[in-house]
Amino acid sequence: MAKAKKINLRNVLDEILLEGGISYNINTGEANPKYGYMVSILGFEKQYDIDEITTDAIRDFVSTNVYDLWGENRFVGGWINTDTNKVVLDVSVNITDVTNACYTGIINKQKYIYDCSNKRNISLPAPQTAGTEVQKKAYAKMKAQELVNLLETTIVE
- Rounded to 5°, the CA angle 151-124-38 comes to 85
6 confidence band (pLDDT: 50, 70, 90) = low
Nearest of 81, 77, 69 to residue 36 by alpha carbon: 77
Alpha helices, H only, the chain? 12-19, 55-64, 98-107, 133-153
For the cut 90, the answer to whether the pLDDT of residue 8 exceeds it is no
Residue 27 to residue 83: CA distance in whole angstroms:
31
Nearest of 112, 38, 126 to residue 75 by alpha carbon: 38
pTM: 0.87
